[in-house]
Amino acid sequence: MRRPILTANWKMNMNSAELTAFTGRFIPLVANADEVDIVIASPFTLLDRLAQQIAGTTIQSAGQNVNPEESGAFTGEIAPGMLADMGCAYAIVGHSERRTLYGETDEWVARKAAALLDHRIRPIVCVGETLEQRDAGRALEIIETQIRESLARIPRDQAEQIVIAYEPVWAIGTGRTATPEIAQQAHEQIRKRLSAQFGEAGNRIRIQYGGSVKPETVYDLMSQPDIDGALVGGASLDPEAFARIVHFQSQRTQ
Ligand code: PGA
């Protein structure tokens, strides 16, 4: 059984007062959610404060990005060891916003993922096709290439540490969630690819779905056999909505 993982991706949102208001509301709402992993990827500026506020809970923190170098003259960048120093258990790499807005390649994502593992931080590696690629019938091929190349530096014995996030670009922030069937088809393809690359461990790697996940859609997505979690942007900024997503089992509508 793969343990469900629900990750908040706050992107470039929230300040310290908003963080405190969020955790004050969210922590009691998820106090009994002990069968899932709950992760919050805050901006770097809030990681220290977030760590203090979630201390003593099961919630874990994550970076939203990282630089693969150890240290040095890389103005404005954050090294894996710095995330470890902030207590991060996870870090997102290869989010489509970084791939499209900042030109990140699979090779660059692969370096980041490997560098994180060296610091015992679990990479959440994002993949997903654009609308044009889907309309051209290339979605599965694109995802497969991204998986193969973004994970090229992951040693087999550490494969279980990684988390994959499948986020179709056309579903991010658009209110247009992939249907559970479309998402499952992509997840199944990813699972096959992971098994080809990592053998039996491929079955134990968790694959999150991301793209306009809401409390109303999370149950049906999570009911699919290869969907093991959600990476949530917009809805994760609202403590009530994200808590309902964490309690996805109780969101069944019919
Ligand atoms: P969204 O973002 O839930 O706002 O679509 C998801 C993401 O980009 O991780």
Please state, for a pLDDT cut of 90, what percent of the chain lies above it.
Answer: 95
Q: Can you tell me the mean pLDDT for 147-164? A: 97
Write down the pLDDT at residue 85.
Answer: 98
Comparing C-alpha atoms, which of 234, 182, 241 is closest to residue 209? 182
Is the pLDDT score of 253 beyond 80? no
Q: Can you tell me the mean pLDDT for 106-123? A: 98
CB 212 within 8 A of CB 171: yes
CA of 199 from ligand 1 middle (Å) equals 30
Write down the pLDDT at residue 175.
Answer: 83
* Amino acid at the residue 254: Q
- State the first-to-last Cα distance of the chain, in angstroms, to the nearest integer: 25
Pocket residue to mutate for ligand 1, from 6, 9, 221, 237, most atoms within 8 A of Cβ: 9
Task: Please name the residue that has the structure tokens 């079955």.
Answer: 203
Look up 18 and say whether it is catalytic: no
Comparing C-alpha atoms, which of 75, 70, 67, 72 is closest to residue 91? 67
Global pTM reads 0.97
CATH of the domain at 145: 3.20.20.70
Is the pLDDT score of 254 beyond 80? no
Q: Can you tell me the mean pLDDT for 160-164? A: 98
- pLDDT tens profile 219-243: 999 999 999 999 999 999 999 999 9
Is the pLDDT score of 93 beyond 80? yes
Comparing C-alpha atoms, which of 206, 241, 213 is closest to residue 227? 206
Our count of domains for the chain comes to 1
Q: Which domain holds residue 125?
A: 5-253
Residue whose CA is closest, atom 9 of ligand 1?
A: 233
Q: Is 213 in the pocket of ligand 1 (CB under 6 A)?
A: yes
- pLDDT tens profile 1-27: 899 999 999 999 999 999 999 999 999
Q: Is 23 in the pocket of ligand 1 (CB under 6 A)?
A: no
**Set 95, 129, 187, 247: catalytic member:** 95
- pLDDT tens profile 179-231: 999 999 999 999 999 999 999 999 999 999 999 999 999 999 999 999 999 99
Instruction: Tell which wins on pLDDT, 247 or 251.
Output: 247
- pLDDT tens profile 117-148: 999 999 999 999 999 999 999 999 999 999 99
CA–CA dist 206, 226 (Å, integer): 8
Q: Encoding tokens for residue 179?
A: 């249907």
Please state, for a pLDDT cut of 70, what percent of the chain lies above it.
Answer: 100
CA–CA dist 148, 37 (Å, integer): 26
Distances from the Cα of 43 to the Cα of 9, 61, 109, 205, angstroms = 9, 10, 19, 26
Distances from the Cα of 247 to the Cα of 41, 65, 137, 221, 226, angstroms = 19, 27, 35, 13, 18
Is the pLDDT score of 177 beyond 90? no
Q: Is 245 in the pocket of ligand 1 (CB under 6 A)?
A: no
CA of 173 from ligand 1 middle (Å) equals 5
